[in-house]
Amino acid sequence: MGNRLSKIITKTGDDGTTGLASNKRVSKADEIIRVIGDIDEFNSAIGLARVVCNNQDLDKELTNLQHNLFNVGGDLCLEGSTLISQQAIEEIEDLVEKYNNQLKPLKNFILPTGSELTARIHMARSICRRAERTLVAANQVHEFNPLLLVFLNRLSDWLFVVARYTDETDEELWC
């Protein structure tokens, strides 16, 4: 891969627009840019969780997630792109099952707290949910890979069970 990002200051966005991979320019307030920004924030939150993750297997899964979030961005930037596949969704579903099978059944809502890793994963989960809502809004005016909606929905489920799995304290129940 060449140096695609070697020029950082381009001044092309000084008018409030930004370019998509299709070379189309859109307003920075456009719903597609909002969701791309939410995905970027979500990816950064996963990075913050990885900083304190001492579980090699989980860190590898979170790293894979970060790569997939760049693929989500690619699917949003380029009409017709399908970097997120049904296989990616099935992999997340398998991870949900893997972690959930190790947990006690949940009988009540839990507070998003716990260890530092757990709290960071809960934060990433809530950002994922916001990105999902923004994606739904963008879907009303833009066409993109329809699997993205399913993928983000599964990711928030996975992050919820991972947060429960990583919690080193007793879960604090909502009462």
- 11 or 55: whose pLDDT is higher? 55
Using a pLDDT cut of 90, give the percent of the chain over it: 74
Band (pLDDT 50/70/90 cuts) for residue 1 is very low
- 26 or 86: whose pLDDT is higher? 86
Characterize 38-50 residue by residue with b for buried, 16 or more Cβ atoms within 10 angstroms of its Cβ, and e for exposed.
Answer: bbbebbebbeebb
- C-alpha 52/C-alpha 47 separation (Å) is 9
Every domain of the chain and the residues it spans: 28-101+113-166
pTM, whole model, 2 decimals? 0.92
Of 38-47, 141-150, 154-163, 166-175, which gets the smallest average pLDDT?
166-175
Residue 24 has pLDDT above 80, yes or no: yes
CATH 1.20.5.510 at 28-101+113-166, yes or no: no
Band (pLDDT 50/70/90 cuts) for residue 163 is very high
Q: Are 128 and 156 in contact (CB under 8 A)?
A: yes
Q: Which residues pair with 26 in a beta bridge?
A: 18
